[in-house]
Amino acid sequence: MNDQPEAKLSVRDLWKIFGPDPKGVVSGEFPRMTHEQRLAHVRASQHHVAAAGVSFDVPTGHIFVIMGLSGSGKSTVLRSISRLVEPTFGSVTLEGTDLLGASQSELIEIRRHKMGMVFQDFGLLPHLDVIQNVAFPLKAQRRPREERRERARQMIELVGLKGREHAYPHELSGGQKQRVGIARSLAVEPELWFLDEPFSALDPLIRSQMQDEFLRLQTQLNKTIVFVTHDFLEALKLADEICIMKDGEIVQIGTPAEIVLRPANDYVRRFIGDVPLANVLRAEDVMSPAWDDGKPHPTVARQAILDEAIKLFDETTETVDVVDAEGAVIGSLHPLEVIRSLYHDQPETAA
Amino acid sequence: MSRFARRFVVSCGAAWPWLLVFAVGAALVLARAAYPQVVTFPDGWLLPLEGPINVAMDWIVENLRGVTRAISGGLGWAFWLAQEMLVHTPWLVTLAAISLISWQGGGLRLTLLIGAILLYILVSGYWTEAMNTLALVLVALPLSVLLGFAAGYLGYRSETARGIIMPTLDLMQTVPAFAYLIPILLLFGFGPVVGLIASVVFAVPPMVRNTILGFQRIPPAIIESACMSGCSRRQQFLWAELPTALPQMLIGVNQTTMAALSMVIIAAIIGGFEDIGWEVLSAMRKAQFGQGLLSGIVIVVLAVMLDRLTAAYAARQLPTTSHAGWPWRRFAVILVAAICGAWLLAWLVPFFADWPEALVFFPANAINAATTDFVMAFGEVMSRIKNAILYFLLLPVKLGFERAVVPFTWGVTFTPLAKTIYWLLAAVACAVAFGLGRWRAGVAAVIVAGFLFLGATGLPWALVVLAVGLLAWQVGGGRLLALAVFSLGFLLLNGIWPPAMLSIYLCFVAVVICILLGGVIGIWAASSDVVSQVIRPINDMLQTLPQFVFLIPALMLFQVGDFTALLAVVAYAIVPMIRYTEHGLRSVPRPLIEAGVSSGCSPWQMFWQIRLPLAQAQILIGINQTILYALGMLVIAALVGTTDLGQAIYIALGKANAGAGLVAGLGMALIAMTADRILQAVIRSGR
């Protein structure tokens, strides 16, 4: 994962500690201790760790999903990056600027121009209608009224709420409310887009629909995204990269395929248990080197999910070629490998 | 039988502290003939705070004269302004302005209601008095709201401030208003300004509470989203926090308005001038019931008007409201135009300036005559009811069976034999309950028997301290014990034990009646939607009325005395009992009801085994509220001639004796707080 060139957002050794005197805990010897020593030290001083030594990079345009159950510290990490919560120790840099060192007024400027955030329970202002809610961040910047309205209208159209501009939050469904939340977070054209369990409060059908729309928006907008969820399937569906957290620590970071095919430990493996892998794995994730037996094979795009690729096998076809965007063959799929990958057999060790 | 015996022994083991208390109690009762100080707290042990308070008060009055003069000057000026606006203008102007304000707040229906109320006040002939009262409210309200908002916001932002504000609010709301009227009286002298200040003090707490609540209830996501929208601290407060907390704060404004009105009326006792409270009070003092009733009705309609008006503006702040009114700028123009127009009209046509005497409908004498006729016709029955309740309920609780059961009242004598049988029965009931494993019921049986035998005024004070202390300790531990002992000690050392026991007696009877009657009504309302819909507006009405009003009908029919006070207290304090009983029974979760039905419960079993146990916590809260309401009303009821702590406060008020008044007021507050905390501990332990 470290071969990716420039990281837009970089988080290094981030700690968030709760208790009577967190700053005291991380002073003195703390920076020179090993990770285990630090954990022991914090516990010994009767403090509670919400995030422990969290480090990751998010390249421009990537969707970075932090996945964890409740109490895993995922929300704390997100809030530490946006400084809704003050982290106790570590560093967060946005394109080389240190976010944690920013003064309150600098922070307000950064939030006004570079960050947008979507919340699980929406955070819409009940006394404002849709267009006023969406225009709210622009109002905070004291932009002229006409410009605010214009921009808010564009955003409302983008999220498909045209015609509901003058509805109040209590008149909207959950899905519609979150569309407003999304539109508001995008109104200032942020470079960094934070989403904190944005779809968790919605019912399953709406959730799936919103996820598709989120992906559509992202292909249009190409934001750098940190997305927090407790839903493993959602993480697999949306992520370029997933970070699984437990008890404030990172358990594993990797692409969806890496996580599914090579889970770091039993904790991760338990999540994979009931995942429909055919919908998660892509042709390129399970292909073997190109198999050239002189015969023509059906071809499938490298990004295609296995569910589609499997349909190409029949009585006479035992090989499917994987092609890249230009049509060049980059590998082949064989039924046995496909089956093994679907049954959680790890290709390297199973052979 | 062996099972019974085993349980009996276990119960005795659990209840041994109580058995000890009973033994001490029996010893004290037997010793009281030889040592009267067992029942009457010895004078030599008194440590009254009255003197020191008066000395301190004199010093404060002496040294704060400049400040108090400035405050009363400022308030006097504000009141003069409000009076100019409401009283000294042609009635058409006031009517037009208030109607327009109602239209803006609540549309046509509200305007019609309030227009009708104003017309009624005109017709009743109490226009000037009502407008004077309204002017007082108008001055007190913004002050209360501002102070309440400031304190509430402070309490929201700072943990430390909240730690100071909350107990202060408790105290402000439990110390009877009469008690702090006295120091205010001393500081600011007689007159409308005293009433103003008292009503500001009295009306602030609901505003503070609702402000804190409003801010605390802002969803965290709203604050976070304001932060992430790049709001500065000021923007966050003005554009996100304040508007989100506003609906709750407006509920506070509504409650504050009603409290201010209530207090403005009560304050007539010290600051009487040409206001409606004074009218009621002087009518009651002169036993002119017609006048009292008519002016009482004016208070009622005033209360309804203020309640509906502020409630409409509170509802208007929610985006759900259908009535939006005019844009504010246009509203201001229309208002000014209407006022000018009305003024012009009144200048041209005198009818619109002063309501003609000929159109006043004032049937006071007719009502007086009718009351007299009614009392003549039904006096026999009514005095029989009154005497029955007095002899068989009030006196036994006050004096105990041993002094209340005499040939004159009961027709029999409480012979030593009967007394022995009485105590034997109590002992047997206790033993049976112990044997069934319910030692609490057994202990309660003996306590009730003892209480009724000795009466509230005949209880040895040491026994009360022991029993209440033990109860407090068992339900709430050391802190509650400390509060109970402190409260009772306060009453004893200040020499206000006898009136305090009278207060407890009257309150006890009222609360028992409220529990029984209110419980039945609440159960009925919970099982019938029709009853519920009939009861609700009546309850709303009873709760919005200034406490003062309750006295009028009771006094009209049954002269001064404990019974009249009892009626007024019950009418006022029954509301929470009804409300909480109904709410508790109705809010039993649906699945549990269905589980009961599918288990084959009969409606009777359903009630006793499912609904009632689950509603118990709510009902206990209702009882708690009822006790607090009853104690609060007791002080007002002193006006119709009781002999309790309320009366002590009232007398102190007449003598402007700040020490005596404050001591009695604090005594009342301590009783209320002790009862409240003990019951709350019981509620908590039941969960």
Question: Residue A7: what are its φ and ψ, rounded to 5°?
Answer: -90, 130
Chain B environment of A151 (Cβ under 8 Å):
none
Q: Which of B357, B375, B394 is the last residue of a domain?
A: B357
- Residue B547 counted as domain residue: yes
Mean pLDDT value across chain A: 87
Q: Which residue of B has its CA nearest to A189?
A: B229
Tell me the CATH number at B499: 1.10.3720.10
DSSP track, A96-161? TEESTT--HHHHHHHHHHTEEEE-TT----TTS-HHHHHHHHHHHTT--HHHHHHHHHHHHHHTT-
The verdict on a CB contact (< 8 Å) between B230 and A122 is no
Using CA atoms, how far apart are residues B47 and B496, in angstroms rounded to an integer?
Answer: 11
Question: Is the model's pLDDT at A5 over the cut of 60?
Answer: no
* pLDDT band (50, 70, 90) for residue A347: very low
CA distance B211 to B153: 7
In the predicted model, is pLDDT for residue A2 greater than 50?
A: no
Same domain for B46 and B190, yes or no, is no
Whether residue B618 lies inside any domain: the answer is yes
Task: Report the percent of chain A where pLDDT is more than 70.
Answer: 96
ipTM entry: 0.81
> pLDDT-based confidence at A346, cuts 50/70/90?
low
- In chain B, how many domains are there? 2
Same domain, B210 and B327: yes
In angstroms, the CA B380 to CA B372 distance is: 13
B102 shares a domain with B47: no
Measured distance between the N- and C-terminal CA atoms of chain A, rounded to whole angstroms: 25
Average pLDDT over residues B411-425: 87
Nearest to A70 by CA among A211, A280, A245: A245
What's the rounded Cα separation, in Å, for the pair B465 and B497? 12
Verify whether the Cβ–Cβ distance B224 to A122 is below 8 Å.
Answer: no
Task: Give the span between the Cα atoms of B315 and B294, in whole angstroms.
Answer: 31
**pLDDT reported for residue B322:** 61
Q: Of how many residues is chain A composed?
A: 351
Domain membership flag for residue B30: no
CB of B221 within 8 Å of any CB in chain A?
yes
- pLDDT at B272 exceeding the cut of 80: no
Q: Which of B229, B231, B235, B242 to mutate to test the interface with A (most CBs of A within 10 A)?
A: B229
pLDDT tens digits, residue range B649-678? Answer: 888 888 888 888 888 888 988 998 899 889
Q: How far apart are CA B322 and CA B110, in angstroms?
A: 13
Classify residue B489: in a domain, yes or no: no
Task: Encode burial over A46-61: b for 16+ CB neighbours within 10 A, e otherwise.
Answer: ebebbbbbbebbbbee
**Residue B323 CB-density burial (10 A; 0-12 exposed, 13-18 middle, 19+ buried):** middle
Final residue before a domain boundary, out of B313, B342, B357 = B357
The answer to whether position B165 is within a domain reads yes
Based on the domain organization, do B630 and B659 belong to the same domain? yes
**What is the side-by-side strand order in the sheet with A320-323?**
A299-301, A320-323, A329-333
Yes or no, beta carbons of A140 and B232 under 8 Å apart:
yes
pLDDT band at residue B404, thresholds of 50, 70 and 90?
confident
Distance from CA of A26 to the nearest CA of B (A): 26
pTM for the full model? 0.81
What's the confidence (pLDDT) of residue B51? 86
Q: In terms of domains, do B92 and B190 share one?
A: yes
- A125 with B244: Cβ contact below 8 A: yes
Per the structure block, which two tokens stand in for A319? 């090989």
Q: Measure CB to CB from residue B243 to each of A113, A125, A170 and give the nearest one.
A: A125
B230 → closest Cβ in A121, A129, A137: A137
- pLDDT category at B319 given cuts 50, 70, 90 is low
pLDDT of A349 reads: 42
**CB of B245 within 8 A of CB of B177?**
no
Residue with tokens 């929208």: B229
- Do B663 and B641 fall within a single domain? yes
Cα nearest neighbour of B247 on chain A: A127
Q: What are A's interface residues with B at a Cβ cutoff of 8 A?
A: 79, 82, 84, 108-109, 111-113, 115-117, 119-127, 129, 136-137, 139-141, 168-171, 181, 184-185, 188, 194
The mean per-residue pLDDT over the stretch B585-613 comes to: 86
| pLDDT tens for each residue of B194-209 | 888 888 888 999 999 9
Per-residue model confidence (pLDDT) at position A192:
92
Partners of B221 on chain A (C-beta within 8 Å) are 119-123
**B130 has a pLDDT exceeding 90:** yes
**Count of beta carbons in the 10 Å neighbourhood of residue B362:** 15
Decide if B445 is inside a domain.
Answer: no
Residue B224 touches partner A, C-beta closer than 8 Å: yes
- Shared domain for B47 and B120, answered yes or no, is no
| Confidence grade of residue A271 (pLDDT, cut at 50, 70, 90) | confident
- Element counts in chain B: helices (H) and strands (E): 32, 0
Q: How confident is the model at residue B320 (pLDDT cuts 50, 70, 90)?
A: low
Provide the residue range defining the domain that includes B584. 39-52+495-685
Mutate to test the interface with A, among B225, B234, B236, B250 (most CBs of A within 10 A): B225
Nearest to B222 among A123, A168, A185 (CB): A123
pLDDT at B133: 92
In this predicted model, which residue has the larger pLDDT, A229 or A282?
Answer: A229
Q: Would you say residue B440 lies in a domain?
A: no
Residues of chain B contacting A183 with CB distance shorter than 8 Å: none
Within a domain: residue B422? no
Nearest Cα of chain B lies from the Cα of A135 at a distance, in angstroms, of: 10
- Same domain? For B43 and B87 the reply is no
- The total of other beta-carbon atoms located within 10 Å of residue B30's CB is 10
pLDDT above 80 for A72: yes
Tell whether B579 and B676 lie within a shared domain: yes
B150 and B215 part of one domain: yes
| CB atoms A111 and B229 under 8 Å | yes
Q: CA–CA separation, A206 vs A97, rounded Å? A: 38
Q: Give me the pLDDT at residue A350, please.
A: 37
Q: Among B357, B376, B396, identify where a domain stops.
A: B357
Nearest CA in chain A to B229: A137
B255 and B327 housed in the same domain? yes
What residues of chain B, 242 to 281, have a C-beta less than 8 Å from chain A? 243-244, 246
In this structure, are B200 and B327 located in the same domain? yes
pLDDT tens per residue across span A290-332: 878 878 888 888 888 888 888 888 888 888 888 888 888 888 8
- What integer pLDDT is reported at residue B687 of this predicted model? 55
Helices (H), B514-561: 519-527, 529-544, 551-557
In the Cβ-directed half-sphere of B675, how many Cα atoms lie within 13 Å?
Answer: 24
